[in-house]
Amino acid sequence: MGTTASQLGKDLLSEYQELTFLTKQEILLAHKRFTELLTKDERDGANSRLPMDRILTLPELKSNPFRERICHVFSTSPQKDGSLTFEDFLDLLSAFSDSATLEIKSHYAFRIFDFDDDGTLDGSDLEKLVNCLTGETDETRLSPEEMRQLISNILEESDIDKDGTVNLSEFQHVISRSPDFVSSFKIVL
């Protein structure tokens, strides 16, 4: 722990505390876990990127159906390969932390569910979402007819302006009424 603390620097640490919903211990733990995933020579570089496939070996993300989306959303990589720097990683943990606000959680949830990154949830996004939720095996998949029914029901409920898609404000409207979104949209290291 001592070594990681010195690596992070006191000022930076306090800035991270200011900017995230994480406590000092959590940031240090995150740093430790992050550096564990880096290879030897990557560790020396201050802002080294961790490729997505190595991030997904974290047990916290391993069985999450949205793991790749999560990486893509939080990645600031210019190549859009879902790789994360430590700061991106902190952003991820902050948004998924216990004390993050509903607003920020719902914002990121929307971006995670927005598979094609077009700013709205349309039919194909919702279809992909349902497929993620029902798992990869064929027996749990919904039939096309059920899928159509489900998506039309969802749009009927949450598409307030009736443009055929769910936009962010509609999404947040729906989410903010849900009793258990905040408690389940959590990832803790």
Partner 1 sequence: MSVSFTTGDEDEISTSEHERGKNRGKRNSNDKEKKKKGNGRRKASREREGEEDLQDRTEKREKGKKRRAKNDLDEKQPEEEDEEQVKVKNGKVAKSKKNLKNETTRKIEQEKKEEGDAEEGKSKKKKKKEEKDRGKQTEKEEEKKKKHKKETSEEDNEEEEEDEEEKEVRPESLSPEELEKLKEAVDEKKKLIQGLRGKPWPMKKKLVTLRESQEFVEKYEGALGKGKGRKLYAYKVMMTKKWMKFQRDFENFKTACIPWEMKIKEIESHFGSSVASYFIFLRWMYGINMILFGLTFGLVMVPEALMGRPYGSIPRKTVPRAEEGSAMDFAVLWDFGGYAQYSVLFYGYYNNQRSIGWLKFRMPLSYFLVGVGTVAYSYMVVIRTMARNANESGVGDDNSFNFSWKMFTSWDYLIGNPETADNKFASITTSFKEAILEEQESRKDDNIHLTRFLRVLANFLVLCCLAGSGYLIYFVVRRSQKFALDGLENHTWWERNEVNMVMSLLGMFCPMLFDVISALENYHPRVALQWQLGRIFALFLGNLYTFIIALMDEINLKREEEKVVKFNITMWEASLYNGTVSENSTASPITIHPADIPRGPCWETMVGQEFVRLIISDTMTTYITLLIGDFLRAVLVRFLNYCWCWDLEAGFPSYSEFDVSGNVLGLIFNQGMIWMGAFYAPCLPALNVLRLHVSMYLQCWAVMCCNVPQERVFKASGSNNFYMAMLLVILFLSTLPAIYTIVSIPPSFDCGPFSGKSRMFDVIQETLESDFPAWFSKVFIMVLFYIQTKIQIAFIQLAIYYLQSTSKSYKEANVELKKKLQTVTLSELHVVWILLLTFEINLCFEIRALVF
- Interface residues for partner 1 in 81-120 (CB under 8 A)? 87-88, 90-91, 94-96, 101, 103-104, 107-109, 113, 116-119
96: nearest Cα among 66, 133, 132: 66
Our finding on whether 35 is near partner 1 (CB under 8 A) is no
Our finding on whether 186 is near partner 1 (CB under 8 A) is yes
Q: Is the Cβ–Cβ distance between 23 and 99 less than 8 Å?
A: no
Among 1, 124, 146, 164, binds partner 1 (CB under 8 A): 146
Residues in Cβ contact with 84 at an 8 Å cutoff, skipping those fewer than 6 apart: 49, 50, 52, 55, 71, 74, 75, 77, 92
Q: How large is the C-alpha radius of gyration of the chain? A: 18
Among 62, 79, 138, 144, binds partner 1 (CB under 8 A): 62
- Residue listed under structure tokens 């990121």: 108
Shorter beta-carbon distance to partner 1: residue 19 or 53: 19
Our finding on whether 124 is near partner 1 (CB under 8 A) is no
Shorter beta-carbon distance to partner 1: residue 41 or 110: 110
Tokens at residue 66, please? 């949205």
At closest approach, how far in Å is the CB of 171 from partner 1? 7
Applying CB under 8 A, the span of 2-10, 38-46, 48-56, 173-181 interacting with partner 1 comes to 173-181
* Burial class for 27, CB neighbours closer than 10 Å (0-12, 13-18, 19+): buried
